[in-house]
Structure 1
Amino acid sequence: MTDAITLSVERQSGLMRELTMIANNVANASTTGYKKEAAVFAEFMKKVPGQDAMSMGSLRGHYTDLSAGAFQATDAPLDVAIEGDGFFGVERGGEQLLTRDGHFQLDAEGALVTADGFAVLDEGGGPIELPPGTGEVAIGRDGTITADGVPFAQLGVFAATPETLTRAGGNLWSAGGRLEADEDPRVRQGFLENANVSPVEEMARLIEAQRMYEAGSNLQSDEHERLRSLIEALGQQ
């Protein structure tokens, strides 16, 4: 296999992974609090003996864009959005995880849970249960929860650095350890955070990646044809 084909295959492998990321971003464009992913390619020049230097490019990794999405007013009392950094804490199967999806609800026992039924945590990492017979629920800018005007809990907002976060499925994140409460939480009741995905930008990325993939396929075809012609010429001598 020639250097040209080798480089093209490596590049196409990275482009396939980028296409998967783009497809996942588009699929989650309407998912509350979703954070988009992007590929990181590295390109450098390689000196090839007896030939001109060749440009090499390959996928070197990916990153998650943690920038905030736009807020959408819902006026639902249990919908909450975080202003600035931070994550809500939830418990799934005994594990403390993070999310930016603040679409909460009450279960049959009066516990505050996510749309998937996972317990929402307070600032100390414990579950939040509303007092029986609660009528009006209000959530202050600092996350203080009041039931019929009486404060009884504080919604947990936890800090995390991008380097410690890994996706845990279901729009959840793992911070790899004990959750640390944000010292200055700011939330807005009656709002949800949209995904930070622009479908137009993702479609532009998709078209560009597809064109680059096709260019790699054409390069491989041309190189195979060149080698075939060379072998036939040598065989006629």
Structure 2
Amino acid sequence: MEHAGYTTLSRQSGLAREMQIVANNIANAATTGYRAEGLIFSEYVKPVDRGASLSMGQGNVHSTSFAQGTLTQTNAPFDLAIEGDGFFLIETPQGERLTRSGAFSPSAEGDLVTYDGFRVLDAGGGPIFVPPSGNIAVSSDGTLSADGNPLGQIGVVRPLDPINMVREDGVMFRADDGFEPAETARVLQGFVENSNVNPITQLARMIEVQRAYELGQSFLETEDERVRTALKSLMT
């Protein structure tokens, strides 16, 4: 295969990955706390004969948008949203994880948990007990109280290096570089944060990627026909 074919194939593989990401964003446009994902393309330049160079594009680096999603009021006492930079601290079998999805509920054991059953942690990394009855209130700093009696403070943290956080599912992240308390974040009770995906923008991008992919496919077919024709001419 000639240089043009390799260059186009590298571009096609990146466009295929971006199409998957865009489709996943659209599928999660209504997922509470979902962060939109993107793909960063990079250029690889290699010197070739006679001082020329070959440029190939690759799309391998994933990026995440941490823009604030819109807040929807639910008035449910265990629905929480974060206004500003910060994440809720969650306990999973694989370790502590971060999320913006605050649709919580009390478990049968009395712990505050996510919809997947993972325990929500307090500022010190311990589980949060919720009494079976009483007027539950959560202040802007995350302090949870029942009938006016403080029970604990919900852990709201910010990663030390958000760019290198690893997405483990749609709404959960792993911060290998650690995290610290999010001093400026505010917790809102009775609200949930919607996905920050803009469906119209994502649909427009899907159309652009699809057209770019079809153009590349057409070029490969034309290039293949050109090479076949040249070989036939040489053999006759």
After superposition, residues 1-237 of structure 1 pair within 5 angstroms as 1-43=1-43, 49=49, 56-93=56-93, 95-131=95-131, 133-160=132-159, 161-169=161-169, 171-176=171-176, 179-236=179-236
Tell me by how many angstroms 1:163 deviates: 2.9
Tell me by how many angstroms 1:176 deviates: 1.7
Moved more, 109-118 or 48-57: 48-57
- TM-score, normalised on structure 1? 0.91
Tell me by how many angstroms 1:41 deviates: 1.6
Paired-residue identity, % = 46
The amino acid that maps onto 1:221 is E
Tell me by how many angstroms 1:155 deviates: 0.9
Q: Does the aligned pair in 1 maintain the 2:34–2:101 contact within 8 Å?
A: yes
Unaligned stretches of 5+ in structure 2? none
Tell me by how many angstroms 1:135 deviates: 1.5
Distance 1:191 1:115, change over 3 A: same
Over aligned residue pairs, what C-alpha RMSD do you find? 2.1
Once residues 155 and 52 of structure 2 are traced to their aligned partners in structure 1, the CA distance between those partners, rounded to angstroms, is: 59
Moved more, 1-10 or 90-99: 90-99
Unaligned stretches of 5+ in structure 1? none
Moved more, 45-54 or 133-142: 45-54
The amino acid that maps onto 1:153 is G
Deviations 1:35-80 (A, max 9, x none): 0111112357777657987664322522111111111111111111
Once residues 44 and 77 of structure 1 are traced to their aligned partners in structure 2, the CA distance between those partners, rounded to angstroms, is: 52
Once residues 136 and 30 of structure 1 are traced to their aligned partners in structure 2, the CA distance between those partners, rounded to angstroms, is: 30
Q: Does the aligned pair in 1 maintain the 2:10–2:56 contact within 8 Å?
A: no
- The DSSP-based 3-state class of the residue aligned with 1:125 is coil
Deviations 1:161-208 (A, max 9, x none): 313411122521111265432234411111100011011111111111
Moved more, 29-38 or 177-186: 177-186
- The DSSP-based 3-state class of the residue aligned with 1:15 is helix
Moved more, 70-79 or 56-65: 56-65
Count residues with an aligned counterpart: 235
Distance 1:165 1:53, change over 3 A: closer
Deviations 1:196-231 (A, max 9, x none): 101111111111111111111111111111111111
- TM-score, normalised on structure 2? 0.92
Once residues 81 and 154 of structure 1 are traced to their aligned partners in structure 2, the CA distance between those partners, rounded to angstroms, is: 14
- The DSSP-based 3-state class of the residue aligned with 2:89 is strand
Q: Does the aligned pair in 2 maintain the 1:86–1:157 contact within 8 Å?
A: yes
Distance 1:177 1:41, change over 3 A: closer
Distance 1:39 1:150, change over 3 A: same
